[in-house]
Chains A and B, each alone.
Chain A
Amino acid sequence: MALQDKQVLVIGGGIAGASAALDLAAQGVAVHLVERDDFIGGRAAQLACKALDACQKCNACLSEPRLAAVLAEPLVTIHRRAIVQGISRTNGDFEVLLSLRPAYLDPQRCTGCGLCLEACPALDEGAIRRPLLAAEAPRLAIAPAACLYFKDRQSTLCRDACPEEAIDFNRQPSQERLKVQAVVLATGYAPYDPRAKERLGYGRVPDVITALELEAMLREQGGLQRPSDGAPPRKVAFIQCVGSREVAGNNYCSRVCCGYALRLGRALKARFGAEVSVFYMDLQSFGHAIDDFLQAAAGELRLVRSMPYDIYAGRDGRVLVEYQTQAGQAPQAEPFDLVVLSVGLSPNPDNPALAGLAGLGLDGHGFLRAGENPGLFLAGAAARPMDVAEVVAHAGRAAQETIGYLEAKQS
């Protein structure tokens, strides 16, 4: 029963990957956790607490302790800035080829003093990134996409400011080979890009944002401001089913949007006194005691059963939302200060490539399909849309099945 000798590759350092890695490590299995970003946490780490006086059970805080625990877990080796380039099977083991982006900011040397932040002229563009998780180390990373050095090859203010000489722009990408006995794919979802629905105004009207952007705003700033002028919005509209339940395209329900929109709406009302309208088709069930929750939400929010078909800037700087509640009725254009699009959970665009790499199939929507290749397991929203608590359980299943597979292989 020497699970202790086994190594498992977990692809994706979000809540699914972290949960699966922790569950595996708890059984003594060594885990290589591969994350393509500079920091772990993925999308779950961007979610904000939506509590009123009491918790609304949005489950966002489920991820925090698990992500912190995975950072502290000695059996989990985290490979940041890494993507899996190849997986091949030899004698029942998997040989994995990782390609790693260079760490221009040496994590062994950086003390996180922040002097580079003060020196950086492109900080607002995101040239130096900071993690959302307090437990994450190092505290800083350079983003080549925004960093001026990679444009002009001479801006080295941060490098010159660093007392630890941690910044080196000459580092090169590298490769690493791993040998593992099983692979867990926890590559998550992609939030639906509402630019595909031009009439909803996203990208054209500054005060039309996605719910994920609202979450990040609440989490990072703790305040509510509309993007156009920074003023606190008084009247807010949520538009449901953006990129979900389409007749052609994403013809599935993303499961989480009604839950997060109603909770965000209640939080905006309670914290900032905003008047909130939610435009919806059907309110889905989520969590315990849903009747009580929906009753409370209906008392605080204006729930409008209608899908707006046009959103555009009004003359007074407000956003006009055009909709119709009854057949034959004249359409009305109602002004709002902020419009939040409840974007759905789309399959990760990398799924076809990942599926090819790992020898897996895709389902009709483009999510990864499990059980097609022994030794390969799926965790979290890579498989289908789910909320944080469901991801934790699903990752538990991936770990449980991985352990079963490893034990069976042994005997």
Chain B
Amino acid sequence: MSQPAKVGVFLCQGGRQAADSLEFKQLRWTADAAAGGLVFELPQTCQAEGAAAIARLTQEHELEAVVVGACPLLKNPGQLSGALRQAGLDPDMALVLDLCQKPASQAAGTCQVAPGAQAALSQALCSQVFRHPLACESRQVATRVLVLGDGLAALLAVRGLAQAGYPVSLLTPGKRLAPPVPLLGTEAAEMAAALASEVEGLAGVDLLRQAELLSLSGGAGDFRAQVRDRGGELHELKLGAVIMAQGPPLAQNRAGLGLPESERVVSLSQFLTMLAAPEHLQKRFGGRPLRVGLLVGLARQADPLSMRAACLAAQRVAVDPEARAVLFTGNAKVAGSGLEALTQQVRGQGVIMVKFSAGGLKAQETEGGVEITWDEEVLGSSLSQEFDLLVVDETPAPDAAYWRLARRLGLAPGRDGYLQPDQVAALPVQSRRGGVLLVGPARGQGEPERWQDEVAEALLETRGLLQRGEVRLEAGRVQVDRKRCAICLTCVRVCPRGAMGRLDRRPVYNPLVCTACGTCAAECPMEAIQLVGLEDERFSAEIGAAAGRVGDLGQAGERSLMVFLCANSAAQAFRAARLAGSEPPPGARLVEVPCAGKLDPDMVLEAFRRGFDGVLVLSCFPDACHSLTGSTWAGYRTGHLQNLLSEAGLEPERLVSAGVAPSQAREVMRLMAQAQEAVAALGPSPLKVGAQVRELLGRYTLEVDETYAIIA
């Protein structure tokens, strides 16, 4: 591809003349051999002067990448990045290696070269050679933001965007802004109404009432939306980002409750609307004191929003001392501001709260109303009561139109009916498509007070993405080889953030939302995608360097283990473990990957080919992957590779994978030790002989026959 980077090596001489040791000299030779003279020994890299010296020498020798061999306790990594930054250099250009072993005893002096230091250094040099500073470019991006929805969350987003100076198109499903949403209560309704009139008068806000989104192509900073307005006219919008604030429609939550089909059974929203016009209620029930049973959170778990609305409704009914309001619930959901106090208060005002956990509820229509029979758990008996009205809470139920809209946004409702994937990395407001943000009722269960937080977070995301129309980006990180690309668009399908798109039928990547996880590169069946600095060549060189001379692997009865660590989780846990003073098992060699999604099957096979006895893949836990789906893809691949291994006559147990969180320092070491034990039980890898043959071939350039003769 491009020229190898000019790498400099800085070796810390250590506190007490560790530099005189043979191990240190060997380290120096390794560095000299690889870095061609650009090796510098510094006294105490860990001090501020050391960092300054590194920055100065890097500048003087015009180095493109730097490897610093120091100790795990390099005092202040920020110091080095600070010094580099001050010198006008990219702090990411430096790779700080931990080559020092904590002394066994105080008397032994403070610094010693760690046993695996040589392999680690050559491995690091391999990786840094592939480090290329990426050109930065300024790119114009569209700054218009499309907001979908008509409620409080949508209006908050519109106002925030307009205030921050972004042009906004607001696309509402109906004609009205801030249509009544009884569940939200009066305070939210007043706020929404005030916002609606404010938004209508705002400059830079384009209102598209009752319009339909037909398609959304492109990616963040460069979306194209097709919109049909209510007159049937088509508009094409150039958008930078999309904020989805429209929730799924709600349906009565009556599954499995056996409620009769009756006019006496209404939804909570309907009941709240009735209460808003008490004269109708009075007419319907002849002015008699009302008997109302509210069923909240029985068929499915409720949310605090419904609980609050139900409490307030029951409170309104119970104002009449002759009336009866009974709130039946499974779990009283009181996790909202002031909600516990409210439930305590309404119980004091005559609202009866009945809780039961099992499905012991029966309902039947009688002459005078509907009768509810339930198993009273505390008393241990069955009770029944007649009501004029039964009120059932609601649950999100995406209908065909909502599904269609979601699909057009490139999303899909989850099991709970909301659009946000159930993954930690998506929190707070991300969707599966970069540049499409989710707030309020589109995101999940919530209450208006949290919607304000979500909208603010979405505004910050938008600012981060679009700034003021000109964005500085690292250009060309993902490179698609046009000659190899078969336009199968696997990359477009697997990209977890929707960063891979199509332009003139060909895949192109969007640097605005690409996180360089490498899933596309690993999944591309044509090997047509490379990430600059994370090329396949780099990893195969690194694996080769980690293997070192095959004879080195498996010395002293230790079985060799190649460990692939995800940079977002396992590598951080490993660093923490090293700082806490634990050592990896002696036969383990480590290679860090940007995300388990980048783990190409070829890398695993390369490790076996090089003679490793086992391979351990440590990724984020499924659903906790920082690139959403990287660890899932890695899981598929390891499963597939295990099949391949067993077909090739190798024990599939030689390939182990596990999930780790960045905080699990002990766990990561335990997993390595455990994997090594498992591999040790299997004995040496049968591929080792082949690797030895290849190494001999490489070293002596012998003919194959001669090599076999030597081995024989």
Stretch at the interface among A121-129, A184-192, A251-259: A251-259
Q: Looking across the interface, which residue of chain A has its beta carbon closest to that of B445?
A: A285
Q: Do A326 and B102 touch across chains, with their CB atoms under 8 A apart?
A: no
Q: Do A53 and B659 touch across chains, with their CB atoms under 8 A apart?
A: yes
Q: A221-B666, A396-B456 are in contact. List 6 more A-B contacts (CB 8 A).
A: A111-B46, A114-B581, A119-B106, A137-B77, A137-B79, A288-B422
Stretch at the interface among A31-39, A94-102, A399-407: A399-407
Pick from B445, B457, B576, B664 the residue with the most CB of A within 10 Å: B457
Q: Is A59 an interface residue (CB 8 A)?
A: yes
Stretch at the interface among A60-68, A169-177, A201-209: A60-68
Bitwise, A388-403 to B at CB < 8 A (1) or not (0) is: 0110111011011100
Q: Closest CB of chain B to A229's CB: distance in Å? A: 21
Given A137-B75, A326-B380, A397-B457, does the pair A62, B341 have CB atoms closer than 8 Å? no
Residues B645-694 near A (CB distance < 8 A)? 659, 661-667, 670
Q: Do B106 and A115 touch across chains, with their CB atoms under 8 A apart?
A: yes
Q: Is B424 an interface residue (CB 8 A)?
A: yes
Q: Is A163 an interface residue (CB 8 A)?
A: yes
Q: Do B575 and A134 touch across chains, with their CB atoms under 8 A apart?
A: yes
Q: Is A55 an interface residue (CB 8 A)?
A: yes
Q: Do B621 and A253 touch across chains, with their CB atoms under 8 A apart?
A: no
Residues B377-406 near A (CB distance < 8 A)? 377-380
CA distance A10 to B134 in the complex (A): 34
CA distance A178 to B663 in the complex (A): 34
Q: Closest CB of chain B to A86's CB: distance in Å? A: 29
Q: Do B357 and A305 touch across chains, with their CB atoms under 8 A apart?
A: yes
Stretch at the interface among A290-298, A314-322, A334-342: A290-298
Q: List 9 A-B contacts (CB under 8 A).
A: A132-B663, A135-B77, A222-B664, A252-B337, A282-B329, A288-B444, A389-B427, A392-B427, A399-B460
Could you say which residues of chain A place their CB within 8 Å of the CB of B355?
Answer: 282, 305
Q: Is A410 an interface residue (CB 8 A)?
A: no
CA distance A260 to B695 in the complex (A): 53
Q: Do B662 and A61 touch across chains, with their CB atoms under 8 A apart?
A: yes
Given A57-B424, A222-B670, A396-B428, does the pair A72, B78 have CB atoms closer than 8 Å? yes
Residues A357-405 near B (CB distance < 8 A)? 364, 384, 389-390, 392-394, 396-397, 399-401, 404
Q: Is B30 an interface residue (CB 8 A)?
A: no
Q: Do B420 and A288 touch across chains, with their CB atoms under 8 A apart?
A: yes
Majority SS at the chain B contact face: loop
Given A222-B670, A294-B301, A399-B460, does the pair A390, B453 have CB atoms closer than 8 Å? yes
Q: Do B76 and A137 touch across chains, with their CB atoms under 8 A apart?
A: yes
Q: Is A80 an interface residue (CB 8 A)?
A: no
Q: Closest CB of chain B to A245's CB: distance in Å? A: 5
Q: Looking across the interface, which residue of chain B has its beta carbon closest to that of A326?
A: B380
Q: Do B416 and A290 touch across chains, with their CB atoms under 8 A apart?
A: yes
Could you say which residues of chain A place their CB within 8 Å of the CB of B160?
Answer: 400
Q: Is B283 an interface residue (CB 8 A)?
A: no
Q: Looking across the interface, which residue of chain B has its beta carbon closest to that of A385?
A: B335
Could you say which residues of chain B place their CB within 8 Å of the CB of A221?
Answer: 666
Q: Is B26 an interface residue (CB 8 A)?
A: no
Interface size grouping (class) on chain B: 35 or more
Q: Looking across the interface, which residue of chain A has its beta carbon closest to that of B632?
A: A54
Q: Do A115 and B340 touch across chains, with their CB atoms under 8 A apart?
A: no
Could you say which residues of chain B place their CB within 8 Å of the CB of A252?
Answer: 334, 337-341
Q: Do A390 and B450 touch across chains, with their CB atoms under 8 A apart?
A: yes
Given A57-B422, A113-B73, does the pair A282, B339 have CB atoms closer than 8 Å? no
CA distance A370 to B126 in the complex (A): 53
Q: Is A149 an interface residue (CB 8 A)?
A: no
Q: Is A286 an interface residue (CB 8 A)?
A: yes
Seen from chain A, the residues whose Cβ lies within 8 Å of a Cβ on chain B are 1, 23, 26-27, 47-49, 51, 53-55, 57, 59-62, 64-65, 68, 71-72, 74, 107-115, 118-119, 130, 132-135, 137-139, 161, 163, 219-222, 244-245, 247, 251-255, 258, 281-292, 294, 303, 305, 326-328, 364, 384, 389-390, 392-394, 396-397, 399-401, 404
Q: Is B418 an interface residue (CB 8 A)?
A: yes
Could you say which residues of chain A place their CB within 8 Å of the CB of B575?
Answer: 134
Q: Is B252 an interface residue (CB 8 A)?
A: no
Q: Is B459 an interface residue (CB 8 A)?
A: yes
**A-B interface, 9 closest residue pairs, ranked by CB to CB distance from nearest:** A49-B661, A397-B456, A134-B576, A55-B624, A396-B457, A222-B666, A112-B73, A400-B456, A393-B428
CA distance A400 to B333 in the complex (A): 30
Could you say which residues of chain A place their CB within 8 Å of the CB of B79?
Answer: 137
CA distance A369 to B460 in the complex (A): 23
Q: Looking across the interface, which residue of chain A has its beta carbon closest to that of B468?
A: A1
Q: Do B424 and A108 touch across chains, with their CB atoms under 8 A apart?
A: no
Bitwise, B70-101 to A at CB < 8 A (1) or not (0) is: 01011111110110010000000000000000
Q: Closest CB of chain B to A387's CB: distance in Å? A: 10
CA distance A64 to B424 in the complex (A): 12
Could you say which residues of chain A place their CB within 8 Å of the CB of B329?
Answer: 282
Given A115-B106, A135-B77, does the pair A392, B428 have CB atoms closer than 8 Å? yes
Q: Is B572 an interface residue (CB 8 A)?
A: yes
CA distance A119 to B107 in the complex (A): 12
CA distance A65 to B572 in the complex (A): 10
Q: Do A251 and B344 touch across chains, with their CB atoms under 8 A apart?
A: yes
Could you say which residues of chain A place their CB within 8 Å of the CB of B424?
Answer: 55, 57, 59, 61-62, 389
Could you say which residues of chain B place their CB within 8 Å of the CB of A51?
Answer: 621, 624, 659, 661
Q: Do B73 and A108 touch across chains, with their CB atoms under 8 A apart?
A: no
Residues B449-470 near A (CB distance < 8 A)? 450, 452-457, 459-460, 463-464, 468
Q: Do A65 and B662 touch across chains, with their CB atoms under 8 A apart?
A: yes
Could you say which residues of chain A place their CB within 8 Å of the CB of B623?
Answer: 54-55, 57
Could you say which residues of chain A place their CB within 8 Å of the CB of B459?
Answer: 400
CA distance A286 to B79 in the complex (A): 41
Could you say which residues of chain A place their CB within 8 Å of the CB of B377?
Answer: 305, 326
Could you say which residues of chain A place their CB within 8 Å of the CB of B452?
Answer: 397
Q: Do B75 and A139 touch across chains, with their CB atoms under 8 A apart?
A: yes
Q: Do A393 and B463 touch across chains, with their CB atoms under 8 A apart?
A: no
Given A61-B424, A399-B460, does the pair A114, B102 have CB atoms closer than 8 Å? yes
Q: Do B76 and A115 touch across chains, with their CB atoms under 8 A apart?
A: no
